[in-house]
Amino acid sequence: MSILLILLPAAVPTAAGTPQDYEYWFSQDAQAPAHARGHGERAPLSAMPSADRVMALIGDDQISWLPAQLPKVKGAKLRGAVVGVMEEHLLDDAERLHLALLERPDDASSSHWVAVTAREPLRAHLQAFEAAGLLVEALLPLSWPQTTPGGHVHAGSDDHPRLRAWRADGVATLPLDSGGLRQWLGEDWIANAAVTASPAAAAAAEQWLGRPVQVLSDTERAWAARQAPINLLQFDLTPRQRGWQRVHRAWQTLQAPAWRPVRWGVIGLVLVQVIGLNAMAWQQGRAVDARKAEQEALLRQTFPQVRVIRDARAQMVRETEALRGGAGQVGPGDLEDLLTAAARAWPAGEAPVPGLRFEPGRLRLTGLTPPQRTQLRDRLAQDASLRVTEDGDALQLSLRPDAR
Architecture per CATH, 335-403: 2-Layer Sandwich (3.30)
Question: Above 80 in pLDDT, residue 234?
Answer: yes
Using CA atoms, how far apart are residues 17 and 387, in angstroms rounded to an integer?
91
Four-residue CA torsion sign, 349, 350, 351, 352: negative
Rg (CA), the chain: 43
Q: Is the pTM of this model over 0.95?
A: no
CA angle 181, 186, 191 (to 5 degrees): 105
CA-based angle 26:31:37, to the nearest 5? Answer: 60
Q: Are 355 and 363 in contact (CB under 8 A)?
A: no
**pLDDT classification of 247: cutoffs 50, 70, 90:** low
What are the CA-CA distances from residue 397 to residues 264, 336, 344, 351, 368 (Å)?
65, 12, 13, 19, 14
**Which of the given ranges, 144-148, 247-251, 400-404, has the highest pLDDT on average?**
144-148
Is residue 239 within 8 A of residue 231, CB to CB? The reply is no
Residue 202 DSSP symbol: H
Instruction: Assess whether pLDDT exceeds 80 at residue 336.
Output: no
> If DSSP states are collapsed to H, E and C, what string results for 37-68?
CCCCEEEEHHHCCCCCEEEEEECHHHCEEEEE
pLDDT over threshold 80, residue 34? no
Query: Does residue 153 sit in helix, strand or coil?
Result: strand
- Contact between 75 and 26 under an 8 Å Cβ cutoff? The reply is no
Instruction: Please calculate the CA angle 325-330-333 and round it to the nearest 5 degrees.
Output: 95
Report yes or no: 151 and 163 within 8 Å, Cβ to Cβ.
yes
> Span 1-144+228-255: which CATH code?
3.30.420.380
Lowest mean pLDDT among 112-121, 279-288, 378-387: 378-387
Provide the greatest CA pair distance for the chain: 126
Sequence-separated (6 or more) residues with CB below 8 Å from residue 132? 44, 45, 46, 48
Q: Are 120 and 70 in contact (CB under 8 A)?
A: no
CB atoms within 10 A of CB 399: 21
Cα distances (Å, whole numbers) of residue 220 to 32, 105, 197:
7, 26, 11
Which long-range CB contacts under 8 A does 242-245 form with residues at least 24 apart? 242/137, 245/135, 245/137
pLDDT at 110 over 70: no
Closest CA to 400 of 374, 356, 362: 362
Q: Residue 404 — very low, low, confident or very high, per pLDDT cuts 50/70/90? A: low
pLDDT average, residue stretch 68-78:
76
Q: What does the angle CA 304 – CA 305 – CA 310 come to, to the nearest 5 degrees?
A: 90
Categorize the per-residue pLDDT at 224 as very low, low, confident or very high, splitting at 50, 70 and 90: very high
* pLDDT at residue 191 in the model: 92
pLDDT band at 117 (very low <50, low <70, confident <90, very high): very high
CA 236 to each of CA 70, 95, 98, 135: distance values in angstroms, whole numbers, following the listed order: 19, 12, 9, 16
User: For residues 218 and 39, is the Cβ–Cβ distance under 8 A?
Assistant: yes
Number of separate helices (H) and strands (E) present in the chain: 11, 17
Are the C-beta atoms of 148 and 171 separated by less than 8 Å? no
Cα–Cα nearest to 6, from 19, 28, 22, 30: 22
Indicate the range of 3-7, 157-161, 345-349 predicted with least confidence.
345-349
* Confidence (pLDDT) at 225: 94
Q: Which helix (H) or strand (E) holds 5?
A: strand 3-8
Give tens-digit pLDDT for 91-100.
778 888 999 9
pLDDT at 330 over 60: no
pLDDT in tens, 203-222: 999 999 999 999 999 999 99
Distance CA 161, CA 181 (A): 13
> Do strands 214-215 and 194-197 pair parallel, antiparallel, or not at all (unpaired)?
parallel
Nearest-CA neighbor of 223 among 61, 33, 53, 22?
33
Percent of residues, the chain, with pLDDT higher than 90: 33
Phi–psi pair at 369, nearest 5 degrees:
-75, 160
Residue 156 half-sphere exposure toward CB, CA atoms < 13 A: 15
Task: Quote the pLDDT of residue 184.
Answer: 87
